Chain A
Amino acid sequence: MQSELNVIADAIDSVQEAATADVEPTANPVPLETYLRPDVPVTPLPQSEVLAAAPATADGMFVAPQILGEE
């Protein structure tokens, strides 16, 4: 995989030729004015449905493995 990644990296390097300082970047091709939606309460998914696909649950919560390496 490493050699494949190097080949791809060389191929995409060409963008630097075109990206001169006078060009503005584009993040969203269809710029929309950002707006706030009305703050209307909605009913979220029931807890049972949210937890249904979780690998491990307890007491209505997701169970994560320990976060830090030591006890």
Chain B
Amino acid sequence: MTDTTELVKLSAVQMAEKLRAKEITSRDLVSAQLDVIDAAEPSIKAFLTVSGEAALEQADAFDNLSDSEKAELPELAGVPIAIKDMIVTKGIQTTAASRILEGWIPPYDATVIEKLKAAHMPLLGKTNLDEFAQGSSTEHSAYQNTSNPWDVERVPGGSGGGSAAAVSSFEAPLALGTDTGGSIRQPGALTGTVGVKPTYGGVSRFGAIAMASSLDQIGPVTRTVLDSALLQEIIGGHDKRDSTSIPEGPRPMVAAAREGQRRDLKGLKVGLVKELNGEGFQPGVEARFHEAVDMLTAMGAEVVEVSCPNFKYSLGAYYIIMPSEVSSNLARYDGMRYGLRVMPPEDVAQTAANMMAYTREAGFGDEVKRRIILGTYALSAGYYDAWYGSAQKVRTLIINDFKKAFEQADVLVSPTSPTTAFKFGEKMDDPLAMYMNDIATIPANLAGVPAMSIPAGLSDDGLPVGFQFIAPQQRDEVMYKPAAALEAALEESWGAPIWSSLKTPWLDGLNK
């Protein structure tokens, strides 16, 4: 039996190998992860709900399968996973980190959850996020602040700070996130983990709580590129319950990641997006980014500069389209069928309309209210053409920029986030400063193209930097190959994975 701390530091692929070799059981894995969660949560606070007993039952169900039954399952079968609390889980409280859904037990599973259960992957619990995935620091959660495992005085990014912190701190080998403007990739960058936003429509959104439906996408959060590829192949593919789901199977991402590990990128053209680095990007972020680009060149890739002149409008377009869709989607929280209901005080008419107003006043936080107000305004008569109509046109221009860029390059690259992790409270009073965190990740959402962030090393401040790859629509495998190659080259230059530099006091004393 391996020590707990050794076990939880393995990649998901390595855990799966040990399961197949019968060196460990799925119950051993889940127990080890639950021990780490117990030890880490007082300082990390990544989880809103831990579903330990259910996870152990799921582990036992896997362990009791015959060898031939196990052989039919995906490679990561038996490996546990954490789920962002934006994805509904039957029988497990799902809150979107909002008071309005406090205590809600969904009566159904999201499609991705059904697929994880079919793959016999135990669910460890639900991770923290900015309320309704709206934010870039996880500080907008109605319940708790999640700490960055690299420095507990700093944010883990957002909105999926809980999933990223859980994977970074070894509370879980894998997690799911949702990415509307960077909510998987930016926390990945800030916590030194891998985060992938698949092609829009590549993974079913059925059961993902809707934020901005034309931008939302579920994707993997892991510590290695190969783990993300394996996870994305499990959760991806067509779903007739999501009308925007692409009617095709998952792309060959695992093969691409394994090919990338051979570190031969001859023939690959890499486009450096001129508008997504330089001014506004922290010097330490720039330095790690350019060193990584040099490594791609050293592995045989040809690097060209590409220009996407309309990207400067992407933040503006995003902050019109996203709140517009938010204002429509969040109208469902009306205190009628599920969730919070707050009746007006006695001197106010006890009407349905007043009940909704009091419910939303009590149930939604400031950032959610800000976006609902903004979106309602953007969609109102007189402003619709100037704002929503213009933003949709900008979306076309950004898609055209990507088309032209992909004529010159197979894959595009940029830093994931302009800065490393910032301190709690630093950007809470300045919404625009907070929105700037997603400047490099938003264009991919607007265009529906796949993108991922991998760790590129530590900045001068000792905090992780993210490196972003962007591929053409429905060609997710194209980014996995250079990402796996760069990961292997970087780890060789460091002598170990990035997490070997992470101090983990919560793991001390875990090996009995």
Contact = CB atoms under 8 A, between A and B. Distances in A.
Nearest to A54: B337
A62 B336 contact: yes
Give the secondary structure class of B's interface.
helix
B107 A45 contact: yes
Contacts of A18: 310, 313, 390, 393-394, 397
B246 A8 contact: no
A55 B336 contact: yes
B317 A15 contact: yes
A57 B313 CA distance: 48
Contacts of A26: 392-393, 395-396, 399
Contacts of A54: 336-338
Contact of A30 (B246, B312, B392, B393): B246
B200 A53 contact: no
Contact of A23 (B340, B349, B397): B397
Given A5-B370, A53-B105, A30 B316 contact: no
B448 A29 contact: yes
Interface residues of B, number: 62
A15 B370 CA distance: 20
B394 A32 contact: no
Interface string A39-56: 000000100011011111
A58 interface: no
Given A27-B214, A67-B352, A7 B431 contact: yes
Contacts of B448: 28-30
Contacts of B315: 11-12
Interface string A1-20: 10011011101111111111
B320 interface: yes
B341 interface: yes
Contact of B201 (A9, A30, A66, A68): A30
A8 B336 contact: no
Contacts of A52: 105, 107
B104 interface: yes
B387 interface: yes
Most A C-beta atoms less than 10 A away, residue of B319, B336, B377, B390: B390
A53 B107 contact: yes
Candidate in A11, A17, A18, A20 with the most chain B CB atoms within 10 angstroms: A18
Nearest to B369: A1
Nearest to A68: B351
Contact of B396 (A11, A17, A25, A34): A25
Contacts of B370: 1, 4-5, 8
B107 A49 contact: yes
A20 B338 CA distance: 44
Contacts of A13: 316
A18 B397 CA distance: 8
B432 A8 contact: yes
A39 B24 CA distance: 47
Given A15-B313, A56-B341, A64-B336, A29 B395 contact: yes
Contact of A12 (B108, B214, B319, B395): B319
B386 interface: yes
B393 A23 contact: yes
A45 B387 CA distance: 40
A69 B351 CA distance: 6
Contacts of A32: 201, 243-244, 246-247
Contacts of B200: 29-30
B199 A30 contact: yes
A20 to B, nearest CB: 8
A69 B349 contact: yes
Interface in B117-144: none
A68 B336 CA distance: 16
A50 B107 contact: yes
Interface string B90-118: 00000000000000110110000000000
Interface in B335-384: 335-341, 343, 349-352, 354-355, 366, 369-370, 373-374, 377
10 contacts: A4-B370, A7-B432, A8-B431, A8-B432, A13-B316, A14-B312, A15-B391, A18-B313, A26-B399, A32-B243
Given A11-B316, A11-B432, A28-B448, 20 more contacts: A1-B366, A5-B374, A12-B319, A14-B312, A15-B320, A15-B391, A17-B313, A19-B389, A24-B396, A25-B389, A30-B200, A30-B448, A34-B243, A52-B107, A53-B337, A53-B339, A55-B338, A66-B352, A67-B351, A67-B352
8 residue pairs, one from A and one from B, having the closest CB atoms: A29-B448, A25-B392, A19-B390, A55-B341, A53-B338, A19-B393, A26-B395, A23-B393
